[in-house]
Amino acid sequence: MPLVWKDLKEAGRGGLAFRMSLFILTATAVIFVAAFGYSSYYFRNEILANVERNAEAVTLATVSKIEVILGGVEKVPSYLARNLQGEKPTLPVLQKQIIDLLQTNPEIFGSTVAYEPYGFATETLYFAPYICRGKYGGLVPSFLGNEEYQYFYWDWYQIPKELGKAVWSEPYFDEGAGNIMMSTYSVPFYTHQGGEKAFKGIVTADISLEWLMEIIEKLTPHQAGYSFLISRNGVFVSHPRKDYIMQESIFSIAEAKNDPGLREIGRKMIRGGKGFVTVKSHFAGQPAWMYYAPLPTLGWSIGVVFPEESLFAGINRLRAVILGIGGAGFLALLIVIFVISGTITRPLRVLADKAGEIAKGNLEVEVPAVRSHDEVEALSLSFQNMQVALKEYISNLAATTAAKERIESELKIARTIQMSFLPKHFPPFPEKEEFDIFAALEPAKEVGGDLYDFFLVDDEHVFFSIGDVSGKGVPAALFMAVTKTLIKGIAGQSVFPSHALEQVNQELCKDNDSSMFVTVCCGILNFKTGELLFSNAGHNLPVLLSAGGEVGWLNSPEGFLLGIMEDASYEILRLDLHPGDTLFLYTDGVTEAMNERKEFFSDAALLKTLAACPGRDPEALVECVFGAVKAFAGAEPQSDDITVLALRYRGRA
């Protein structure tokens, strides 16, 4: 182990042993963290899903139980209200019916039949006999209604009267009869007189909420959790904190704590929704989850709160165990990797030292033989073979370098010869004041495939052309030389540029086994009259800069490429140039020049550049376009030959 540690220290932080150890340990750590994170996430979701299922099952069972009880309670006053729609009973009969109601339904705390003012007797304003359960279980009769308690103005009376249907009241604390929390179910009853229905009063059934609160408190399956009940207005009917009951609502707490999430939960609860959501610590005392479901009969809602600390106690203990096991395994793996990497890298460092000597030019250094029967032995043999190969390579390098220099020299000569084919003295015809012409070519390699030419056909006509050969390099340069020679030889004898293109095309198609082609546009200008004859063989459309300042494309007829179809024919465009008009010809190396973002210079940019050029003489236009293209390309290498030609017609002096 000390030897391995020494090897690692000698290798340094950049050594193979260090990097191999770092890579393996990092990969192991990433896998462990990913597995640990996924398992934690999976177990957490499983726990939450189980808690939600259990909470839903228990809560819905409790809701069903409560609904059964409340449903039975609702039937009793409804039955009594139907009986009262017939003949009016006497007071003893009415009290007997209320007593029978209470004796047969122990869930009901008290009941009354409250008549409209003067509804029972014309001389009686208040008539509401009330019977409730006494302190020791007996039934206690009384009468509601006096100057201090005008029952027909209270909610339990007014709301069902106005709605015309039975309703449960909001929870309240009864300070008169039972001094308990209760809720009242009120049922309106009517009489039928002359075929019309007339409201006569309300039958009520009061229930104590003590049994309901006991059922709610038993909902929580965890010791640290709790359950609560809110009314249809969000007021707490049941809660572990006694100061919340009938004093606070879920909305008042949300407002006090500025918690819009809790406010939204409260809205969903009073609307009869159900769900499983998170709640903040200020509501539950700590971060927690809550399941809520409605009590449809009352329009109230039950909430069951589960603190996260108790929910995830088991998974937290599991995390601690997994981290402990992972840490111990990580340490053991570290020791094993150090031992293995030191054994592997020791002979590699020796080979690295010998390779350094070889790199300095000492090809006679002795490479030690390794007998490990693995990749290290193969590497040692490779170094020995490399020594022999390097000696042979160095002996051949001198000859190769000389051959390369010879090729580069020949390419420079070829470039000089190619450029000599093109007119390069400007102005070319100083004695001709009727027109001015300027052209430039910049190949992408030592030699290129673009071409341009112009010459006087006679004392009144000048021929000009520009072309672009497919491909680049030496083949394109040779094809360019042939094309230029043919154009000059044939165009000098042709009256029309279209005939010249047809004859050049026929010559290029002969024995064109390489299937190379060239695009050409050319024209003959009568510089005495301004008449221009122009033909195009698949080349870019020229640009016409009028003397009035307008810049636009010269819509010359399209023609097929030269060198492909022997029987191709070409059309001719006749145009009269005005003094000051300029014709600008170019190859696609201009519009397809790319910048570092691989964007093209484009046709639109060419038109914009020509329109913005400060001068309109040919040389100024050429320099302006070259400058714009180079500025656009920036540091991006030139990908294609760039050739431009500008011809300006001045007219007679």
Average pLDDT over residues 333-357: 72
DSSP 244: G
- Decide if pLDDT at 82 tops 50: yes
Please indicate whether residue 192 or residue 564 has the higher confidence score (pLDDT).
564
- Decide if pLDDT at 19 tops 80: no
| Confidence tier at 502 by pLDDT (50, 70, 90) | very high
First to last CA, the chain: 100
Q: DSSP assignment of 335-403, as one string?
A: HHHHHHHHHHHHHHHHHHHHHHHHHTT-TTPPPPP---SSHHHHHHHHHHHHHHHHHHHHHHHHHHHHH
362-414 confidence digits (pLDDT tens):
767 777 777 766 777 677 777 777 767 777 777 777 677 767 767 666 666 66
pLDDT of 3? 46
φ and ψ of 458, to 5 deg: -155, -160
Tokens found for residue 154: 């209270």
- Decide if pLDDT at 458 tops 50: yes
503-541 confidence digits (pLDDT tens):
999 999 987 888 899 999 999 999 999 999 999 999 999
- Decide if pLDDT at 415 tops 80: no
Average pLDDT over residues 452-476: 89
| Confidence tier at 350 by pLDDT (50, 70, 90) | confident
Cα 549 from Cα 546, distance rounded (Å) = 5
- Decide if pLDDT at 68 tops 80: yes
State percent of the chain over pLDDT 70.
87
| Confidence tier at 11 by pLDDT (50, 70, 90) | very low
Q: 599-608: string of b/e by CB count within 10 Å (b at 16+)?
A: eebebebbbe
| Confidence tier at 5 by pLDDT (50, 70, 90) | very low
In degrees, rounded to 5, the angle at the alpha carbon of residue 139 between the alpha carbons of residues 138 and 141 is 145
φ and ψ of 388, to 5 deg: -65, -45
Average pLDDT score, the chain: 83
Please indicate whether residue 4 or residue 612 has the higher confidence score (pLDDT).
612
Please indicate whether residue 221 or residue 140 has the higher confidence score (pLDDT).
140
Least confident of 116-120, 255-259, 284-288, 535-539: 284-288
State percent of the chain over pLDDT 90.
28
Within 10 A of 347 (CB to CB), how many other CB atoms are there? 17
Instruction: Provide the β-strand partners of residue 631.
Output: none
pLDDT of 639? 83
- Decide if pLDDT at 189 tops 80: yes
Tokens found for residue 241: 């904190």
Sign of CA dihedral 157, 158, 164, 166: negative
444-453, 574-583, 632-641 — most confident range: 574-583
- Decide if pLDDT at 13 tops 60: no
310-321 confidence digits (pLDDT tens):
766 666 666 677
Cα 331 from Cα 179, distance rounded (Å) = 70
| Confidence tier at 549 by pLDDT (50, 70, 90) | confident
Average pLDDT over residues 328-345: 74
Average pLDDT over residues 140-165: 89
Distance of CA 442 to the CA centre of its chain: 45
- Decide if pLDDT at 54 tops 90: no
Least confident of 66-70, 213-217, 352-356, 459-463: 352-356
- Decide if pLDDT at 52 tops 80: no
